[in-house]
Amino acid sequence: MAKYFPLSMKFNHKDKLNNFVALPGESVSSSWDRFTGFIRSVPNHRIHDELLKKSFYRGQDDNGKVVLDLITGGSYGECTFEEIAEKLEKIFQNNKA
C-alpha cells in the first residue's frame, strides 16, 4: 500500500478533509461531491466520522450551514455522519434526475 499511497499523500488528503472549505459561491451539492471525493481518494484515512461531519459543516458558509440544517430538520449536530450522507445523497440524486 505504501507504494501507491505514500504517507505524505495520506497526510495531504487528511489535511484537505480536516480543513475543508467550500469554495466561494459553491453549492452544498458541489462541495459535498468534492468532500466525498477527498474521502474516496484515501480509503484508509482513519478519520472518525464525527470529525468528518464537523469538518464538512465548519467548511460551509452561512448559507450552506442553513441548507444543511434544513436538510437534517434542524438536527445536523444530532445526526450521524452516515445519516447526513444518506440524506444529502438522496436529495442531490433527486435533483440530478
Rama region for 46: left / alpha / beta (φ>0; ψ in -120 to 50; rest): left
pTM over 0.85? The answer is: no
Q: What pLDDT does 41 receive?
A: 78
Looking at the chain, the whole-number percentage of residues with pLDDT higher than 70 is: 81
The 10s digit of each residue's pLDDT in 16-47 is 888 999 999 999 999 999 999 888 877 666 78
Judging by beta carbons within 10 Å of its beta carbon (0-12, 13-18, 19+), is residue 88 exposed, middle or buried? buried
Please tell me the predicted confidence (pLDDT) of residue 75. Answer: 87
What pLDDT is stored for residue 78 in this prediction? 94
Q: How many CA atoms lie within 13 A of 23 on its CB side?
A: 9
Q: What is the pLDDT of residue 15?
A: 79
> Which position has the higher pLDDT, 42 or 71?
71
Give me 97's grid cell. Answer: 434526475
Q: What are the start-end ranges of the H helices in the chain?
A: 7-18, 28-41, 49-58, 62-71, 81-96
Q: Is the pLDDT of residue 87 over 60?
A: yes
Residue 66 clears pLDDT 60, i.e. is over it: yes
